[in-house]
């Protein structure tokens, strides 16, 4: 029994350590940017692969329902498979952004490794059209996605679940901050 207890305590400690490394002024900056852009009629677009796509879905629902912020994500399989088939998987995010993003929108790109080509190409496209880009990544501190955003949040872990849980909590804290400050 003692070994299991140590495992879970260590696991939760690693998540807490990642959570505590955030510069809270970055979260406040994101929340204020989203509120400001929302008042201008802009939206938030959240994109991720795998578990990060699930985070995008949850965040979208909370932005819309709880914080009254226009938000969307690209988790519709027909969009992903259509653009992936026609333009290649690495280009599907940029193609979807080409159809949905506008100048002034905020694009949140989530990639645990910060290496996902579709997120990198999507970030470059979003910046090229005048969207604000917020990235969330982990693993290596010098991952390429972390270099592309206007605001870049990084989780200091090489474990997918620790990185994803950290991203999820950080982003949901932004939603709760917006709700609290309304």
The pLDDT of residue 2: 60
Q: Which two tokens stand for residue 142?
A: 């010098």
Tens of pLDDT, residues 121-138: 999 999 999 999 999 999
pLDDT confidence band for 5 (50 / 70 / 90): confident
The pLDDT of residue 135: 98
Task: Please state at what angle helix 2-20 crosses helix 160-180, rounded to 10 degrees.
Answer: 50
Tens of pLDDT, residues 21-55: 999 999 999 999 999 999 999 999 999 999 999 99
**pTM of the entire structure?**
0.96
The pLDDT of residue 78: 96
**Other beta carbons within 10 Å of 58:** 16
Look over the chain and give the mean of its residue pLDDT values, rounded to a whole number: 96
CB neighbours of 169 closer than 8 A, spacing ≥ 6? Answer: 19
Question: Which spans in 24-91 are helix H?
Answer: 24-39, 51-65, 77-87
pLDDT confidence band for 182 (50 / 70 / 90): confident
**Cβ(145)–Cβ(114) below 8 Å:** yes
List the strands of the sheet with 44-48, edge to edge.
71-73, 44-48, 106-111, 132-137, 151-154
Q: Which residue has the higher pLDDT, 5 or 59?
A: 59
Q: Is the pLDDT of residue 108 over 90?
A: yes
Calculate the CA 136 to chain-centre distance. Answer: 5
CA distance 113 to 11: 19
Q: Which of 100, 137, 95 is nearest to 115 (CA)?
A: 137
CA distance 149 to 4: 39
**Other beta carbons within 10 Å of 181:** 11
What is the mean predicted confidence (pLDDT) over 87-113?
A: 98
Give backbone dihedrals phi and psi of 76, rounded to 5 degrees, phi first: -75, 120
What is the mean predicted confidence (pLDDT) over 107-122?
A: 98
Superfamily of domain 2-180, CATH level 4: Glucose-6-phosphate isomerase like protein; domain 1 (3.40.50.10490)
The pLDDT of residue 176: 98
Give kind and range of the element (H or E) at residue 48: strand 44-48
The pLDDT of residue 104: 95
**Other beta carbons within 10 Å of 93:** 29
Tens of pLDDT, residues 162-179: 999 999 999 999 999 999
The pLDDT of residue 4: 79
The pLDDT of residue 156: 96
């Amino acid at each position: 029994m003692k070994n299991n207890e140590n495992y879970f305590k260590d696991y939760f400690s690693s998540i807490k350590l990642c959570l505590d490394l955030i510069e809270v002024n970055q979260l406040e900056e994101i929340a204020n940017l989203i509120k400001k852009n929302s008042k201008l009629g802009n939206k938030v677009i959240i994109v991720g692969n795998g578990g990060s796509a699930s985070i995008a879905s949850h965040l979208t629902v909370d932005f819309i329902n709880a914080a009254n912020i226009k938000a969307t994500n690209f988790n519709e399989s027909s969009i992903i498979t259509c653009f992936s088939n026609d333009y290649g998987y690495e280009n599907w995010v940029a193609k979807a952004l080409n159809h949905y993003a506008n100048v002034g929108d905020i694009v949140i790109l989530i990639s645990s490794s910060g290496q996902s080509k579709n997120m990198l190409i999507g970030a470059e496209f979003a910046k090229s059209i005048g969207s604000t880009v917020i990235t969330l990544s982990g693993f290596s501190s010098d991952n390429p996605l972390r270099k592309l955003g206007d605001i870049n949040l990084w989780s200091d872990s090489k474990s997918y679940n620790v990185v994803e849980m950290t991203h999820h909590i950080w982003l949901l804290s932004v939603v709760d901050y917006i709700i609290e400050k309304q």
